[in-house]
């Protein structure tokens, strides 16, 4: 049985800030640029919700969502809109260009009831959970037993 561990990344960032200084995360963005969209996930008893930051999408052709068993795959392209080359940006923290994000869903969901809506730069996806239990009917057939005597 695996034990789920919730790791407090915010406290790690505070500790790193204390040791390395406040500029560490900004400098890290220059070395390791953002490669995928930030995502929040929450659920209740009947549904799961994904909220994905994708500012700058212009049309449905910019994004493709594929359902694969227990995961959701987002692939798309956020258009680059600045009048200078990307290398000329003094700060480059926003996601642009092609991206792919695979999100593992921790429950079974009904593919026919997935709803997606894009507004204000956020992609909101609602997944309806499938019922966890389904009774199975067992049929019994009687066999003819011969008496060995």
Position 1 pLDDT exceeds 70: no
Helix-helix angle 24-31:9-20, to 10 degrees: 100
CB 54 within 8 A of CB 63: yes
Rg of the chain (C-alpha set):
24
Predicted TM-score (pTM) above 0.75: no
Beta-carbon contacts of residue 97 (< 8 Å; ≥ 6 apart): 77, 78, 80
List, in sequence order, every residue forming a beta bridge with 123; answer none if it has no partner: 52, 118
Position 22 pLDDT exceeds 70: no
State the average pLDDT over residues 103-132: 92
Beta-carbon contacts of residue 38 (< 8 Å; ≥ 6 apart): 52, 53
């Amino acid at each position: 049985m695996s034990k789920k561990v919730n790791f407090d990344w915010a406290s790690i960032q505070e500790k790193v800030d204390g040791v390395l200084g406040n500029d560490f995360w900004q400098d890290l963005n220059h070395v390791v640029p953002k490669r995928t969209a930030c995502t929040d996930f929450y659920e209740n008893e009947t549904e799961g919700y994904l909220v994905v930051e994708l500012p700058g999408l212009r049309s449905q052709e910019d994004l493709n969502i594929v359902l694969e068993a227990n995961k959701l795959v987002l692939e798309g392209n956020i258009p680059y809109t600045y009048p200078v080359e990307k290398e000329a940006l003094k700060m480059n923290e926003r996601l642009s260009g092609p991206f792919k994000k695979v999100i593992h869903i921790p429950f079974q969901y009904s593919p026919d009831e997935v709803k997606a809506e894009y507004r204000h730069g956020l992609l909101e996806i609602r997944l309806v959970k499938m019922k966890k239990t389904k009774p199975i009917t067992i049929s019994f057939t009687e066999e003819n037993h011969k008496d060995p005597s």
